[in-house]
Amino acid sequence: MSLDAIKYYRSFEAGQTLIWSGDRMEFVASVVTGVATLSQVMEDGRTQTVGLLFPSDFVGRPGRDTAPYNVVATTDLLMCCFRKKPFEDLMAKTPHIAQRLLEMTLDELDAAREWLLLLGRKTAREKIASLLAIVARRDASLKMLPAAGKLVIDLPLTREAMADYLGLTLETVSRQMSALKRDGVIELEGKRHVTIPNFDRLIEEAGDDTDGGIPG
């Protein structure tokens, strides 16, 4: 038996919440197309996004059965799902899958820790530049293109979703986007379509070491 034998697909519309924090998780899944967020909400409504899910990213945790976060589609989304029990059984019999899962989890941990630095120490402008860089890198890697020179992306997030990920307000996000446009770091057509004329310049603005930040 292989993973292919137990998989099925589900699609969701932009804005839909796939999973509520505290829900029983019946499946694990990976993103096929589209983008989703993992987010945590405080009692008074303050919201922090704790992870972005791009195509190929994995959600769900074998061995635990209630969801720790809200999972929300920020674009139309297609997920490839596996019922949890068969997936766990398969994992127990196939060390390769467990190994791969450990590797992915370690990468997620690195990404989370990169984000700790961003939230704890970066300015609003650096935060925006960092987010644009991450989206551009993921987008380039999907298209099997190098993340360098001139890049064009469509932001998969509203200004509010960006704010929730960056620990800012949507007004500050909007102002800093305008400032980066004014300074020629980006060009905007509409609200979502972004041209990055010089990726290295964007990386400088992000305050990351010049060697390039998050791998993958």
Partner DNA sequence: TCTGCATTTTGATCTGTGTCAAGGTGGGGA
Partner DNA sequence: TCCCCACCTTGACACAGATCAAAATGCAGA
Chain residues binding a second copy by CB under 8 A are 38, 40, 42-44, 46-48, 50-51, 61, 63-64, 68-69, 95, 98-99, 101-103, 105-106, 108-110, 112-117, 119-121, 166-167, 207, 209
Token pair recorded at residue 126: 């650096």
The residue range among 20-28, 73-81, 187-195, 204-212 that interacts with DNA, by the rule CB under 7 A, is 187-195
Identity (one letter) of the amino acid at 152?
A: V
Among 175, 197, 204, 212, binds DNA (CB under 7 A): 175
187 sits near DNA (criterion: CB under 7 A): no
Among 47, 141, 158, 198, binds DNA (CB under 7 A): 158
17 sits near DNA (criterion: CB under 7 A): no
Instruction: Kindly state the smallest distance separating residue 135's Cβ from a second copy, in Å.
Output: 18
Interacting residues toward DNA by CB under 7 A: 15, 123-125, 158-160, 167-175, 177-178, 188, 190-192
